[in-house]
Structure 1
Amino acid sequence: MNERLTVQSFGPIRQIDINFRKVNLFIGDQGTGKSCIAKLFSTFRWLEKALMTETYSLDYFTKFVDARFKKQLCGYHRIDDFFRDDTYILYESALYKFVYADSMFKIENKKETITGLPKIMYVPAERIILSSAEKKLKTFDGLPASNLTFNQAFWESKERFKDGYALPFGNLSYKYDSLNDNSWIVGSDYRVRLINASSGIQSALPVCIVSEYLGNIVASGKERPMSVEELQKLQKETAKIMENENLADTVKNAMLKHLSGRSRYNCFVNIVEEPELSLFPESQNSMIRLLCKVNNSSTDNMLLLTSHSPYTLAILNNLVLAYKAYEKGDDEIKRRVAEIVPPEYHVDPDSLAAYSLTNTEMENYQSVLSESSGIISKNDLDSVSEIIMREFNSLYRIYATTIK
């Protein structure tokens, strides 16, 4: 993972410079820029994909920057009004370099070989609307367009799991009656319509089934669906390479390999806002584990989480510690670790990035990973807990004086 994002003066972000890894966590107070980072990352990953598939030309978004880059591209996530006069944005990967500065947008193609395309999904915090609506929503008035994209993936996932899906918590399962267009949550001795289920279930189910559905598509290695126009274009380019007698076989093979990368997904980029939404801490644990399991199903997958919950930090720490103990342990230790946390959930500390965002500093972010251990260390959320405990102790001492 070698994606880098540098942002100055954009929405709530004053200044950040972040290198992304396989698992990425952004945690902190409201309005500190967590979702803004996630949406920028999603935007540039999608733009990379659009350029790789030649859906758009290299200069499409660099011309008419206000109408295309800002309104069309950034407007998809409703961040088009976050720009200021001194906004600076740099996103760089192995394939492209994007720079927005002085109201200009520039793209540099590094001309690296494409090994496959990302399957990108942005999971919005507003997802509970999908579960609480019985019928498929066709419009999302007042909400970002990303909700419509997630809605489509949710319904495809429901069809995939219509015979049953076990939720990762509560001994609950999901069943979809496609004939009557009804969704059911089934317990050990009861069932309720999804629209009548708890808010936690309504929030969690779309995340779970969409993540597993798309993760399975990528892990299968099958060719991705392409439009007739896209397929014809790919076939023409292939024939043009094969018929060119001036190209050496080694060059042809390299060019064909580059083209073949456009026909399949090589990774699932899963961007989830507030996975803990409306969930009890034990269920949060199950949710984060599931997302990490899906992320581990393919080498190049990426997981990006935004969160307000301190439990997210503790859960990831457990998965990191499980990885470290399992990797260094003998067979007996591996067995004991696996009984607590099976290997499919483990998180390599070298693949984890975790940042705390605040409103208090000029650079309003800081890594909360310990360089020596790779484990998440003390952060602002711990400070809040300490404040609450200090208040409790002070109040209890006062209360004690009233007891006679």
Structure 2
Amino acid sequence: MVRNFGPIEQAEVELKRVNIIIGPQSAGKSCLLKVACYCTWVEKRIQIAQSADSLKQISQSPDSPKGCLHFCYLIEQFHRLKGYMRGDSYISYESDCMAFSYDQATGSFGFKWKDARWEYLRPRVSYIPAERNIVAVIPNWFEVKLPDDNIRSFLQDWDAARKGLQKVDVLNLGVAYRYDGKSGKDRVVDGAAELDFSNTSSGLQAVIPILVHLNYLTCIECGQSSPASVQKLDEDRLFLGRIPKDFDEDRRSRVAENFTQPQRCEVFLEEPELSLFPPTQVQLVDWLLEHVAKEENSLSVATHSPYVLTAFLEREGVDIALFTVDREGGQGAVVKTASKEDIQAIYDDGVDAFFNIAYFRKG
């Protein structure tokens, strides 16, 4: 649940395997996507530490407002949401494993464990921003000093992905991406020709970062061990000491594996349609459903594209939720969950969800 945060006045959503957020520009689509991503990450951090205490503490960062809790500071800083928190802002999150909430009016962070606490599966949480083409338009991006936010985080993920994959075909466009380790250059192969990534079309510059990153994320990282940092080794060691002593050996082993190694991916993607021809948008949706929205993974998307929306809704057997963000009369945005009947109307009766946002106000 989100209340009075940025443009959002009221949002109460239940996330499924695939989540689509639509609405006018500046209505709060990306804001909702960022809050969902952040809460998923917070759950992960609490599970790893087996404690929420750090989030309840006053932030000691020099650029943090006086008295700001660490929970509040992190969402504003990482997702570039400074100024979104109001005096009556409220954010709450609940899963099978835990529930937590932040109330700006009282400056308090509430938390409780739930019965499935030890059934958690560690995710790799990834936010793919609309600005992802920075990896192509600024070839020396690794030399640019950036704040510690979601763009910098994506750049770090991109760097690991491009160095970890040999070659990635770009849908059915007849081109492929490869990283030249000797020169440190990103290359796009088109038949016998090779181009610098920075010299390719805007569509390729927007879609290749998605494909390369998610290929690496879903095929390499999740379910497989990867080189661990000193920080992660310390976290794992501390976590193993927190597993209840009364668990039998099999359960202890299972919990240790599920909590210390990624078992699934939770992907939050802004505007997958950027600079893509409509049929290519549909191909990208098919690729996302095949490679990302499978097994225990989840995919959440904020989009302006009717082609992306229709492509998702047309695919059978997909556990999907559709959320509409509407600022009626210039007021704060209200998020509605489309019912099965609403979705059927979009699919069968030609109700254009983008030109008829008001259609969902009755819900």
Q: TM-score, normalised by structure 1?
A: 0.77
Q: Quick check: 1:51–1:58 contact (8 Å CA) kept in 2?
A: yes
Query: Aligned with 1:201: secondary structure?
Result: helix
* Partners of 1:239 and 1:29 in 2: CA distance: 49
- Alignment partners' CA distance in 2, 1:192 and 1:238: 48
Taking the aligned partners of 1:383 and 1:116, their CA distance within structure 2 comes to 39
What CA distance in whole angstroms lies between the structure 1 residues aligned with 2:22 and 2:281?
15
Which deviates further from its counterpart, 299-308 or 251-260?
251-260
Matches for 1:23-42 after TM superposition, within 5 Å: 23-42=18-37
How far is 1:186 from its partner? 1.7
Residues 365-384 of structure 1 aligned to structure 2 (within 5 Å): 365-371=335-341, 376-377=346-347, 378-383=351-356
Q: Could you tell me how far 1:233 is from its partner in structure 2?
A: 5.7
Comparing 18-27 and 104-113, the one that deviates more: 104-113
Tell me the CA shift for residue 259 of structure 1: 2.7
Matched with 2:96 is 94
Asked if the contact 2:327–2:333 (Cα under 8 Å) also holds between the matched residues in 1, the reply is no
- Percent of pairs identical after alignment? 25
Distance 1:259 1:160, change over 3 A: closer
Residue 265 of structure 1: CA displacement? 1.0
- Deviation readout 1:241-292 (Å, 9 max, x if unpaired): 7xx9xx55x5454344323322211111111100001111111111111111
Question: 1:60-113: CA deviations, max 9, x gaps?
Answer: 111226141222343210124211111121111112211112232222222611
Distance 1:99 1:239 in 2: 27
Q: Which amino acid aligns with 2:136?
A: S
Unpaired segments ≥5 residues, structure 1: 1-5, 324-347, 385-404
Would you say 1:146 and 2:143 are equivalent positions? no
Q: Give me the whole-angstrom Cα distance separating, in 2, the residues matched to 1:365 and 1:88.
A: 15
Higher RCO (C-alpha 8 Å, min separation 6) = 2
Moved more, 287-296 or 39-48: 287-296
Change (3 A) 1:239 1:28: closer
Q: Which residue of structure 1 lines up, in the alignment, with residue 10 of structure 2?
A: 15
Matched, 1:292 2:279: no
Name the CA distance, whole Å, in 1 between partners of 2:126 and 2:296: 15
Provide structure 2 residue ranges, at least 5 long, that are not aligned to the other structure: 59-66, 358-363
Deviation at 1:369, TM superposition (A): 4.7
Structure 1 residue aligned with 2:323: 355
> Are the counterparts in 2 of residues 224 and 263 from structure 1 also a CA contact under 8 Å?
no
Q: Please give the alpha-carbon distance, in whole angstroms, between the structure 1 residues aligned to 2:240 and 2:313.
A: 47
The residue that corresponds to 2:139 in the other structure is 134
2:70: which partner in 1? 68
CA distance in 2, matches of 1:354, 1:190: 42
User: How far is the alpha carbon of 1:138 from its aligned partner?
Assistant: 4.4
Q: Which residue of 2 aligns with 1:270?
A: 267
TM-score by length of 2: 0.85
Asked if structure 2 preserves the Cα contact closer than 8 Å seen for 1:33 and 1:357, the reply is yes
Q: Output aligned runs, 1:3-402, within 5 Å.
A: 6-54=1-49, 57-64=51-58, 66-101=68-103, 102=105, 103-110=107-114, 112-139=117-144, 141=146, 145-161=149-165, 163-218=166-221, 221-231=223-233, 234-235=236-237, 238=240, 251=248, 253-297=250-294, 299-319=295-315, 323=316, 348-349=317-318, 351-360=319-328, 364-371=334-341, 376-377=346-347, 378-383=351-356
Structure 1 residue 120, shift from structure 2 partner: 0.8
Instruction: Give the Cα separation in 1 of the matches to 2:342 and 2:34.
Output: 31
The alignment covers a number of residue pairs equal to 341
Match of 1:305, as an amino acid? V
What SS is found at the alignment partner of 1:38?
A: helix
1:106-125 alpha-carbon deviations (Å, 9 max, x no partner): 22222611443100110001
Cα pair distance change 1:318/1:236, threshold 3 Å: closer
CA distance, structure 1, for counterparts of residue 229 and residue 187 of structure 2: 33
For the residue of structure 1 that corresponds to 2:45, the secondary structure is helix
